[in-house]
Amino acid sequence: MTSGAWNDSIPGIGTFFVGIDVAPGRYRCEDGKGGWWVRFTGPGGGEPVGSWPLPPGPTEIEIAPTDFAFETHVSTYWRRIAPPSTPEDGSPAEPRPVADPALRAELDTIVARRRPLVWLAPLTVLGIGVLGSPLLGSLWLIGLGMLAVLVALGTPSVSLDLRRARELERRRDRYLTPQDFDDEGRAMLSRVQAAVDAVRDSEVNREGLLDSVDNAVTLPRQEWEIAQVLARQSKLRAEQEELGGGAMLPEVEAAMAPLRAKLEVSVEAVTRRVEALERYAERVRAADEVLHAQRRLEAIAEKAHEYDELVADTVRDDLALPAIARLTEQSDELVRTLRERLAKAAEAGGELPPPS
């Protein structure tokens, strides 16, 4: 997986952290027969839910933004088919965890260095069997050989997942969960993630039409930097609430006033940054609409010859020419509109503050 950008698929075996390794959403496995999955929900993943054994055929699973991790053991892979479901009551979606975009690659590097070591356990078992076979016979060797196979199948994935989880715990300052934000911070982070997802999942982005803005790198960095500020603001608001609880003397109120003012300046600054992201997402949505319209017009144009033939069979050729000309003119106009929308989207992306 590339640092800073999620794939739309999840390997069949392993444990993956939501917001770091995988994006929340609905995933589909074409054949989960005999496999299993576990969603680690709740704070820190302390409330796991799972399914085992999976039936033959396709299986779908919803990974929520609030999930901590997703563990899977199937013979194929999971493909993301839809974004996370919106709450039925219309309330804002809970924000997903956010991580430093460089964290995933760092964890992968640490695990890769340790990968050869996980084979020591099965090799040790097999070595004991070879040494003991002259004394205890061939059945001893066969038994330990089977045990070595079982250990070899289970040890690597389990050991590497545990190693990755431990390394993640040591880097607690490199990722943030919804519990790190107050209500105001979560609401603002939800806006950020809605804008990021709108750009990331847009058709013009998937087809590389926004080539002037490197969304795969820029957007995760913007999300992480904004989330860090929002978490600090949430912490300071809680501290102010604690310090300012109850009746305050004028001297205490006077001392608190400049702190509140500085916090408000920070809130206004990050709000402007979020609004810039939202403007970018809105321009991208507009470009998507034009792209869809252009494709519908192209589909109509492909059918136009059938109508031209019909007209040619019934009226003179000069009556058919204006219809073709109008269709061509409409197509050209739509292409010009699409280019204008893409240019505006690129301009809005350029307004985003550069990641620090």
pTM for this prediction: 0.71
Alpha carbon distance 331, 208 (integer Å)? 21
> pLDDT in tens for each of the 356 residues of the chain?
333 455 678 999 888 888 788 888 899 999 999 999 999 887 767 788 998 899 999 999 999 888 888 989 999 999 999 888 776 666 666 788 888 988 878 877 776 665 444 444 445 545 554 555 555 455 544 554 554 444 444 444 445 566 667 777 788 889 898 889 999 999 999 999 999 989 888 888 888 887 655 787 888 899 999 999 999 999 999 998 888 766 667 877 888 889 899 999 999 999 999 999 999 999 999 999 988 888 888 888 787 777 767 666 665 555 555 655 665 676 677 677 878 877 887 778 777 777 66
**Contacts for 181 with CB less than 8 Å, ≥ 6 apart:** 95, 189, 230, 231, 234
* Strand blocks (E) in 43-180: 47-51, 59-63, 69-82, 98-99, 175-176
Nearest Cα residue to 36 out of 69, 79, 73:
73
- Domains in the chain: boundaries: 9-86, 113-170, 181-350
Hey, what amino acid is at 266? S
Q: Kindly give, in sequence order, each residue whose CB lies less than 8 Å from that of residue 109, ignoring residues fewer than 6 positions away.
A: none
Q: Is the peptide bond before 220 cis (omega within 30 degrees of 0)?
A: no
Which one-letter amino acid corresponds to residue 352?
L
